Amino acid sequence: MTTLQSKDQFGAVGPSGENGSAQSGSRLLRRRMLIGGEWCDAASGQTIMVENPARKEALGEVPRGAAVDVDRAVAAAGAAGAAWARIAPRERGRACLAIAEVLEARQEELARLIASETGNAIRTQARGEAKWVADVFRYFGGLAGELKGMTLPLGEAMLSYTRREPIGIVGAIVPWNAPAQLASLKIAPAICAGNTFVLKAAEDAPLAVLMIAEICQAHLPPGVVNVLTGYGVECGEPLAAHPQIRKLSFTGSTAVGKAIMRAAADRVVPVSLELGGKSPSIVFPDADEDWVVEGVIAAMRFTRQSQSCTAGSRLFVHADIFETFLAKLVARLEALKIGDPLDEATDIGAIINERQFKKVCGYIEEGLRRPDARLVTGGLPPGEGPLATGYFAIPTIFAAGSNDWRLAREEIFGPVLVAIPWRDEAEVVRMANATHYGLAAYVWSREIARALRTAHAVEAGWVQVNQGGGQVLGQPYGGVKQSGIGREMSLEGMLDSFTVTKTVNVNIALPPPVQ
């Protein structure tokens, strides 16, 4: 195992809290990529500026990686591959457990970094995300002993068994909305299963991922985990197309996911895709209650500015309770505090960047123009005042009769909820399924038979009944339809996504040796 090389990379960063002070423009966090155990600049020397979206200020700078850097990282992963694969799984698991210890000890520092670069509020989001990262390494580290095969009962003459072998070099790409969680969910199972790993972080939020890489590197041989920073087309595309990559694991938009799948098809490389969503939240007439309101807010991920693939962004409320339920929802939503992600009082932070902010505003403008849509709360963000200093969007609800317009069909990835009344159970299920997405769904009713009937009828990879919380480690998680392929986050996910089964048949009924 190599020693910690954090001085180079993080020498300029002090204890927890100092990352927060970089917020005030005091210092730029300069970070480098991890390739073969070394901290590297891009071969071109070019960099990307990382912005603090709550202040519209430069927060840091990372290398602008490109194809040549991808080649180096893949070569480093290749060089490390054979030795890492030979290490006993429980030993690899122990490395993950050691990484988890350090991640846990440094979770506040990680949380502040996440809050600073993503805009996710520290109290409601970033702290939980940082804690989850340590949990992920601990979870998969503990599962190392489960990387086992089976024997087949083929009679006394044959020994037939299977082995769960590593696939090889895994190429992974993550988005910016929950970068630390999503990166750890790929790194930990992949390396625990004996693969080596090249990850491209999202250009908008690479800093927390690089901190995780630093902690990993202290417990792993060089080249087992490599982390690149760069733009999608310049750095992600060559990674997806690299001939030595044996498995692709992508989380991001459906459009880019399709491109990844095409690149994988050229080489018949297995892919896991965790893509977009437009998830329904179905409220039955007996659920006009405060706890459901809380659940719907959680499901919509309002406290992550609804920048979540699983956001329950289409709210189907039974017509009998439509107005009373919305009134309760509005009152609760308007009490949430929007502001600086590092402020403990803040519930809702900032949208990731200007492009996304303008996109969200564009959807709100379209809703405001639409004659058959009614603005229930929110609207366009103020052009001046404290909220204008960052990309702060206001939680917005439109009531609409139709499930068939842009705001109800497209993934906005911002705090814009469309509420639609319904009367007939079959009709609401039809509307819920009238989308090319199928990631998550939420059903709200005390009548468990109809809640489960609905849960089973909805086309989604993950349905929650009477709760709106986040994913739980250990559940096979992923989408159906154009929300993705494959399952990660669980033991099955590690086995299916990051190992390949080899079958060995041994003839044990050999004739006696000729004397």
Nearest CB to ligand NAD, comparing residues 248 and 432: 248
C-beta of 237: minimal distance to ligand NAD in Å? 4
Rounded-to-integer distance, Cα 347 and Cα 343, Å: 9
166: contact with ligand NAD by CB under 6 A = no
51: contact with ligand NAD by CB under 6 A = no
C-beta of 172: minimal distance to ligand NAD in Å? 10
By the 8 A CB rule, do 181 and 230 touch? no
Residue given tokens 């405001």 in the structure block: 368
Helix (H) or strand (E) holding 355: helix 354-369
Rounded-to-integer distance, Cα 70 and Cα 235, Å: 7
35: contact with ligand NAD by CB under 6 A = no
C-beta of 251: minimal distance to ligand NAD in Å? 5
Catalytic residue among 129, 186, 192, 235: 186
Residue 490 DSSP code:
S
Query: Which candidate, 280, 416, 339, places its Cα nearest to that of 55?
Result: 339
The CA distances from residue 144 to 88, 137, 472, in Å, are: 9, 11, 19
119: contact with ligand NAD by CB under 6 A = no
Q: Any residues with CB less than 8 A from the CB of 371 and at least 6 apart, and which?
A: none
C-beta of 479: minimal distance to ligand NAD in Å? 6
Catalytic residue among 96, 309, 328, 411: 309
Q: Which of 33, 73, 193, 240 binds ligand NAD (CB under 6 A)?
A: 240
Q: Which stretch binds ligand NAD (CB under 6 A): 124-132, 169-177, 318-326, 505-513?
A: 169-177
Q: Which of 277, 312, 390, 486 binds ligand NAD (CB under 6 A)?
A: 277
180: contact with ligand NAD by CB under 6 A = no
Q: How many CB atoms lie within 10 A of CB 491?
A: 16
Q: Which of 340, 411, 459, 496 binds ligand NAD (CB under 6 A)?
A: 411
Q: Which of 152, 233, 448, 504 binds ligand NAD (CB under 6 A)?
A: 233
Residue given tokens 């609207």 in the structure block: 379
Q: Which of 98, 121, 143, 202 binds ligand NAD (CB under 6 A)?
A: 202
Q: Which stretch binds ligand NAD (CB under 6 A): 44-52, 153-161, 199-207, 380-388?
A: 199-207
Rounded-to-integer distance, Cα 28 and Cα 35, Å: 22
Helix (H, G, I), strand (E, B) or coil at 508: coil
253: contact with ligand NAD by CB under 6 A = yes
Positive or negative CA dihedral for 163, 166, 168, 174?
positive
256: contact with ligand NAD by CB under 6 A = yes
Q: Any residues with CB less than 8 A from the CB of 195 and at least 6 apart, and which?
A: 81, 84, 85, 166, 167, 168, 169, 170, 247, 498
129: contact with ligand NAD by CB under 6 A = no
116: contact with ligand NAD by CB under 6 A = no
Positive or negative CA dihedral for 362, 363, 369, 375?
negative
Question: How far is C-alpha 456 from the chain's CA centre?
Answer: 25
Helix (H, G, I), strand (E, B) or coil at 375: strand
Size of the residue set binding ligand NAD (CB under 6 A):
30
Catalytic residue among 117, 129, 274, 459: 274
Residues in contact with ligand NAD by CB under 6 A are 173-177, 182, 200, 202-203, 231-233, 236-237, 240, 251-253, 256, 259, 274-277, 309, 411, 413, 439, 479, 484
Q: Which residues are known catalytic residues?
A: 186, 274, 309, 488
